[in-house]
């Protein structure tokens, strides 16, 4: 279970332009700036193939990465970023909604939340919607390197309990700094893909 190859395929803001090769897909969803692109880099052992930024709103379209020449990672634009216009936010929202509705190749969604904040209202909305759409979800609680050691366990227990209430089977604590959780996430993704 390893990512041997990752290739950036393209950035798409129109569903009609998506890659012609139909391969299984795993999508990465979460709030703006939560660390979606960083997670992809860590899983693939790359520094910045998926462009990251301390400025929220970096990823604005569907970014496709071909993994091991067999499946796609799809880095989604983040939601909940206040500093974009109402119009632009509606555009992203419609793009992501249509992507989830129309995609026949999506095998599962990696829902990333910030471990310091737990599930925000928008995260809850997202996970409920994914459950309704019967898409398998893996919750990744990221930035655990920033949790105070004394509270780490109780915070993660609470996130896990909420995940279970939402019908999500698995929650993995993760950090790009310590790489904690990387192997578990890779295992889950390959399992989702039946590899
Ligand atoms: N300490 C710490 N910082 C992280 C971690 N993951 C991401 N970051 C930082 O969080 C910021 C945002 O990361 P990105 O990966 O660009 O976030 P994103 O979700 O792709 O953001 P958008 O593309 O804007 O939606 C960057 O400054 C990262 O270095 C983590 O596990 N620990
Ligand atoms: Mg990003």
- Ligand 1 binding pocket includes 61 (Cβ within 6 Å): no
Torsion angles phi and psi, residue 158, rounded to 5:
-65, -40
Mean pLDDT, rounded, for 88-96: 84
pLDDT of residue 145: 98
Nearest to 20 by CA among 7, 9, 28: 9
Closest residue by Cα to atom 1, ligand 1, is 143
- Residue 180's CB: how many other CB atoms inside 10 A? 15
Residue 70's SS3 state is: coil
Span from the CA of 19 to the centroid of ligand 2 (angstroms): 20
Mean pLDDT, rounded, for 9-22: 91
153 Cα distance to chain centroid: 23
- The larger pLDDT score, comparing residue 183 to residue 57, is at 183
Structure confidence by residue, pLDDT tens digits, 121-178 = 999 999 999 999 899 999 999 999 999 999 999 999 999 999 999 999 899 999 999 9
pLDDT above 70 (res 58): no
Which atom of ligand 1 is found nearest the CA of 41? 15
Mean of per-residue pLDDT scores for the chain: 92
Confidence category of residue 85, pLDDT binned at 50, 70, 90: confident
| 107, containing H or E segment | strand 106-114
Span from the CA of 140 to the centroid of ligand 1 (angstroms): 13
User: For the CA atoms of 129, 135, 141, 143, what is the dihedral angle to 10 degrees?
Assistant: -90
pLDDT of residue 22: 87
Confidence category of residue 79, pLDDT binned at 50, 70, 90: confident
pLDDT of residue 185: 98
- Percent of the chain surpassing pLDDT 70: 98
Which ligand is closest in space to the CA of residue 58? 1
Burial class of 173 by CB neighbour count within 10 A (0 to 12, 13 to 18, 19+): buried
pLDDT above 90 (res 56): no
Structure confidence by residue, pLDDT tens digits, 107-120 = 999 999 999 999 99
pLDDT of residue 77: 86
pLDDT of residue 20: 87
pLDDT of residue 80: 82
Tokens linked to 36: 């979606």
Span from the CA of 37 to the centroid of ligand 2 (angstroms): 4
- Ligand 1 binding pocket includes 118 (Cβ within 6 Å): no
């Amino acid at each position: 279970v390893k990512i041997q190859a990752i290739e950036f395929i393209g950035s798409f803001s129109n569903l009609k332009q998506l890659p012609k090769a139909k391969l299984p897909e795993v999508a990465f969803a979460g709030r703006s700036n939560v660390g979606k692109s960083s997670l992809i880099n860590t899983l693939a052992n790359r520094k910045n193939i998926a462009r990251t930024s301390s400025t929220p709103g970096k990823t604005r379209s569907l970014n496709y990465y071909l993994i091991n020449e067999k499946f796609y990672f799809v880095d989604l634009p983040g939601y909940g970023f206040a500093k974009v216009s109402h119009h632009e936010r509606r555009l992203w929202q419609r793009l992501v909604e249509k992507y989830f509705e129309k995609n026949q190749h999506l095998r599962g969604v990696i829902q990333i939340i910030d471990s310091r904040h737990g599930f925000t209202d928008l995260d809850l909305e997202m996970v409920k919607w994914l459950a309704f759409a019967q898409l398998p979800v893996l919750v990744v609680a990221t930035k655990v390197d920033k949790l105070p050691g004394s509270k780490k366990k109780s915070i993660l227990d609470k996130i896990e309990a909420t995940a279970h209430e939402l019908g999500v089977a698995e929650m993995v604590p993760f950090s790009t700094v310590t790489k904690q959780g990387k192997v578990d996430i890779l295992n889950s993704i390959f399992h989702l893909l039946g590899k």
